[in-house]
Structure 1
Amino acid sequence: MTTKYYRIHTEGWAGSISRRRFFLAALFEAFLALAGPLGGWLDSHFLSWQFPASSIEAVYAHEGHDHSHDEDTHAHDADAEAAEAGHVHSPSETQQPGTDAAHDHDVHSHDHSHAGEEAHDHGHENEAGHDHDHDHPPSGSKPEEHDHDHEEGVVEVPAHLVSALGIKTESVQKQDLVQTLDLYGWIRPRPQDRTDIHSPLEGTVEAIHAWPGDFVKSGSPVLELSIPGWFDWQKDVLHLAHTRERVTDLRGYGVREGHAEIVQLLGEIQVAHADSQRLEKQHALLSEAGSQAVSRKELETNLGSLNLARITLHAKESLARSYGIPEAVLESIKAGGSIEDISPEVIPPKTRTSIREADFDLEEAFHYCRLAEAKLLSVGFPTEKLELLRKGDLRGIAQTLVVSSPADGLVSRLNVTVKMAVSPEKDLIEIIDYHTVLIETEVPEVDIQRVLNRYGDQVAVRFPGLPDVSSEARVLYFDTSVHPDIRKAHLVLELDNLPGLLLRDQMAASVGVPLAVRENALSVPRKSILTDGFEKIVFVEEQPRHFHRTPITTGIENLDRIEVLSGLKAGSRVVTDGARVLFLDLKAPKGMGDPHAGHSH
C-alpha cells in the first residue's frame, strides 16, 4: 500500500501532512488549475506570501520500502539553485512556488525520471491501480512542449459551429460618422393618454371583463357594477311614459264629459227660456180677462210660476256665462238655435281644472325623466334600452351598470375584484393609449449648452429590451433648470410607438443627440468591440474561420458605431455577432478541454 505525503519546507520549519489532512490544500490547488491565468497569478503571489521560502515535495512512501534518500541531495541550497536554474523537478524534488512546470497541463507532457537514478526502482509498477512511468529528463533540460498548430490570440472555429454560434462578420469601410451625446432615459405615456375609470355611484363590482395587458376599444365593456340608485333613474323614465298615458286619457275623457255638461246646460237654458215665454203669455191673458173671469188665486199662481221660470233662466244663463259661453251663443240658443254648433273646447271649469292638474303632473314627470335620462346616459346606459324605457317597455330595465372604456388603449392597472364595494372617488381601472409615447431623459449640466435649441430635431433612439430595433424621436421640450441633487436638466422627446405597440411605460431607452459629423471615418458596430482589461479589442477574420484577437484604439461614437483610430484597416472583416463567444473561448483554461494537455502516466 502506498501513502502519498506533501512535505512543506520553510525557513526554520518543516513538517509533513498526510493526504487526508492535506484535503484543503488539494482543493486550493484544484481551484488554481481551474482559474487559468488568474490561478497562475494567485499561485505565484498568494503562495509566496503564505510560504515565504517554501516548496512542495511529493514523497512516495511504500510499506516495507526503504526511503532513505541522501539528505544532501535534497538540501535547501540545492533546491534554491534548481529553482534559479529553471529546472523541472521530479515529484521527489523541491519545486519553487510560482513555477508552473509541474502544474502546466496545457502544453506539457512530462516523463518523470531522474537522470542517473534509472536503477532506483520504487516498485510502483507492481502496485495495483498504478502504472507510473517516471522518466525524468536530464538535469537542466526543459519538458517537451506539444505543437498545438495555432498561434496565440487566434480562435479557429469548425465550419459546422460558425452558424450554430451565430458568428457574423462585416467588412470595415470608411463612411461619415455622426457623433452623438448618448443619454439614458425611460418610456412614459403622454399625460393626456392616461384614462382612469371611476364608478358614478357607490356600488358593488359584479363582473370584470378586462384585465391588465388587454387592449380595449372605445365603448367596449370593462366592468359591471350593481348600484342601488340605478333602478330609481330607470323608474323615472318609465314614470313619464305612464304619466303621459294617464294625462292623455284624462284629457280626452274630461273634454268629452265637459262638453256633454255644457250641452246639457244649454239645453236647460233653452227649456227655461221657453217656459218663461209661455208663462209670460199666460199671465198676460189672465190679466186681460180680469177678475170676473179668473180668480185671484189662479192669477197669483200663474205669476209665481212666471217668476220662478225667470229666476231659473237667469241662473242657468249666469252659469253658462261662467263657463265662458259667449252671449251671442246664449241668445242664439234662446232663439232656438242648434246646440251642435257649440265648440268642443268649451268645458266646465272643474273639468278644465282637472285637466290642468294632470298637465302639471305630466310636466313634472317630464322633468324627472329628462334628469334621469341624463344620469343614465352619463354612466353609459345603452341607448337602445333607454328607448324601450321611454316607451314604457319593461324590457329596457338593466339589472347592472356596464362600465365601458372611454378610449382605445391598454389596461395597465386593475384596482378592484369581484364583489368589492366601490365609490366615485376610487380609481377602478387605468387605461393607457400607447400609440404615441414620450422619452424622458436627463442631460448633464456640462452638456446643456450642446442640447439647446433642438426643438423638433430628430434624435436616434435605441431600446436595450429590443436590441434589434431602432427608431427616431422628436425633441418635445427641454427644461434647462438643473436639478440640485443630480446636476442634470430634463429633456423630453416624443415618438410614435413601434408596430404592435411594443414600447411600454418605464421601458429603458438610449438616446443619441447628434453633435458633429466625422467624414470618411473608419468605424465598426458598437457590439463588435470588447474590453479586455485596459484594452479594447475586436476579432478579425484573417482566414476563413480563423479569428484573430486585435487590439484597437477608438475615437468618437454614437449609439450604433464607434470610430477606429488604429488597429484596423479598410476591408478587414470584423466579427459583429458572436465576438463574446470567441473571447470566452480564448480565455478558457487550455487544460480543461485540451486533449493534448496533461501528463503521460
Structure 2
Amino acid sequence: MKRSIYVLIACAYSVLFCAGCGAGKSAGDMSQMTTSVAVETQEVALQPMEQYVSVSSKVSSEQEVSVVPKTSGTVKKLYVSLGDTVKAGDVLFEIDDTEARLQVQQAQASLESAQANYDQNVGGSLETQLDQMQATVDSYQIQYDDLQKELEETEALYEIGAASQSEVDNLKSSVNKAKIQLESAQKQLELNQGSILEDTKKSLQANITQAEASLASAQKQLDDTKVRAEIDGIVGTLNISEGSVVSAQSEAMTLVNMDNLKVSFHVSEDVINQISVGSPVYITVSAVSDEPMTATVTNISEAADSSTRLYQVEAALSNPEGNLKPGMFANVRLVTETKEDTIVVPLNTVLTDNGEKYVFVVDENNIAHKTTVETGLENDTYIEITSGLSIGDTVVTKGQDFLSDGNTVNITNGTTEQETTAEETEQE
C-alpha cells in the first residue's frame, strides 16, 4: 500500500516538475522528456507450485477420555488438580469404600459356607453312605458265594445218594434269593455312585461357583472406588472436589493426551477425490506461531455427513514442545495438487481486463510490454503461468497497476523509498 501511494506521489511530482521546466524550454525539448514508473520485478524461473484449499479448524487430541466412575458415592480423597500430568494407572480419586468392604466380607463368608457344605457332603456324609452301601454289597456277595458253594456240594452228594432232592431245592431257592439281594444292592450302589452323587456334587459346586462370582463382583466394586487414569495425559477438566457425590452417570474429569494432537475439518465433494492419506497439509496456529507447521492427512471419511454433505478429514500434529493446546484455532491449507517444475509468479502480478489475463514484461531498455498469459494452478500467494512467459523473462511484480504498454520503468528492487526518490530527482 505504501509503495502504491509512493508511486502516485512520484508520478505527480515528475509531471509537475516537467511542467515547471517547460516554461523555459521549447516544445522540442519537452518531447524528449519521459516519465518512468517505479516498479519491482523478478526473473521468471521454474519452481514447485501447490494448489490448496483453506479451511478453519480447531486443535484436538487423538486421545481425550471422560473419567466416569463405575460406582457411586462420596469423594473421599482427590489426588489431582486441573492441569496436572498423570500416567495410565495412576489413582485420580477415591470414593468412600465402607459399604463396598462390607459386601466383600459378606461374599467371602458365603463362599466359605458353600465350600464347607461341599466338603461335608461330598467328602463326608455322601462318602459314608457310599461306604455303607459298598459294605452291604460285599456282605451279600459273601453270602451268595457261600450258598453257591454249599449248593454245589449238596448236588454232588445228591448224585451219590447222600442228599435229598428237597435239600438241593432249598439251597437253590436260597441261592436265588441271595443273588437277587446282591444284584439289588449293586444297582443301588451304582445309582448313588453315578447319578445321585454326581448331581449332588454339581449342585454343591454350583453354589461354590456362585459364591465365587459374588465375591469377585464385590471385590470389583471395592476396586472401583479407586478411580484410575486410563491414558497418559493432563487433567483437562475437573468437575469434582473432596466431599462431593459422584455417580456412574456423571463425568468427574477429562484426561487429554498432549503428545498426539490433530485437526479435524470438512471438505466438499469437489475436493475429496483430489486428496488421499499422506497428502500434505500446512497448519497455522496463530496462538503459537505465524509460521505454518507441515503435517499430512491421516484419515479421510468414506461417506459425507448426511446433513452438510461434507467429508471429514483429519491430520496429525506433533507437539514436542507442548505449546499446542486442544481448542486452539487453526488455519488449514490442504494441498490438492502439486507441480514440481513450472513457471510461477506472485498472484497479484497477473492483471485482468475484460477476461484477458496479462502481465508486464520489462525488456533490456526498461520498457514495460503488456503480455497476454494463460494461467493454471493458483493459491493465496502464487499463480502458475502456462503460456505467455519464458524462463529468464523479467516480470513486474509491484507497480503494474500504474503501467501502460510501452511505459519506461524504474526498477527499485532492494532500494528504499527515500533512495528511489533521490535517484528520480537527480534524473529529472
TM-score by length of 2: 0.48
- Structure of higher RCO (CA pairs closer than 8 Å, 6+ residues apart): 2
TM-score by length of 1: 0.37
